[in-house]
Amino acid sequence: MRVAVALALLGAVAYEGYEVVESPGSQLFGKTLVSGPKNQRVVALTYDDGPNPPYTGELLSVLRTEGVHATFFVVGRAVAAYPDVVRREVLDGNAIGNHTWSHEHLVLDGQSSLRRTLERTDRAIFDAAGVHTRIMRPPFGGRDWLVLGEVRKLGYTPVMWSVPLANDWEFPPARVIAARVLRYAGDGAIIDLHDGNRGLLCARMHVAAHECDRSADVAATRLIVDALKRQGYRFVTIPQLLRMQAATRTASHASE
**Which amino acids are annotated catalytic?**
48, 194
* Region for 199 from its dihedrals, namely left if φ exceeds 0, alpha if ψ lies in -120 to 50, beta otherwise: left
In sequence order, the β-bridge partners of residue 181 are: none
Query: Helices marked H in the chain — which ranges?
Result: 2-21, 55-66, 76-81, 83-91, 111-129, 145-153, 174-182, 215-230, 238-255
Distance CA 152, CA 99 (A): 15
Contact 233, 188 (CB under 8 A): no
Instruction: Give residues with Cβ within 8 angstroms of 63, minimum separation 6.
Output: 45, 69, 70, 92, 94, 221, 225
First CA to last CA distance, the chain: 62
